[in-house]
Amino acid sequence: MRFLLYPMSVVSLLLSGAIFGFFYAWVCSTMWGLDQIDPNVAIDAMQAMNASVRNAVFAPAFFGTPIALLLTAGIAWRCDAVRSCTWFALAAVIYVAGGLLLTMQVNVPMNEALGAVATPLDPQKASRIWSDYSQVWQLWNQLRTGASAVALACVGFGLVALPRPAVGP
């Protein structure tokens, strides 16, 4: 079982980093950029991005991260790497609660509601719809980004706590 511990730890790191980076990109560029353009265009662009994110490239990071984290925690447990197990399990709990479930309960319903908006709209109405959506969506996105950052840090601590492989004969 120990032969799986290090590769699974790396998989956990990569998936946790990928989902954190995905959420972080929305915080530091995407939404700010959309806020700067015509609200009808922003609504159309967000609708297109939300439709395109359901794909085989995104799914492993979004849905696979907690699976990888829990598998890594289980393998660490079986290898008596209790400290690492604790960090990986904690990362899984934090990501599931603050990333996956938050997204499914808040961001996805907001995205679906925005997806039902037909454009073009009257400029004032489009501005109001976009402003109301963007402000609330960004708050929740910042929370899931923070949770994903903490989960990624836990993975880092789990890696540091891994037992060192024996060297030599």
- Look at the block and give the residue holding tokens 């998989």: 11
Residue pointed to by tokens 């991260």: 65
Q: Alpha-carbon distance 91 to 76, whole Å?
A: 14
Q: How would residue 168 be classed by pLDDT, with cut points 50, 70 and 90?
A: low
Taking the complete model, does pTM exceed 0.85, yes or no? yes
Q: What is the pLDDT of residues 58-115, one digit of tens each?
A: 999 999 999 999 999 999 999 999 999 999 999 999 999 999 999 999 999 999 999 9
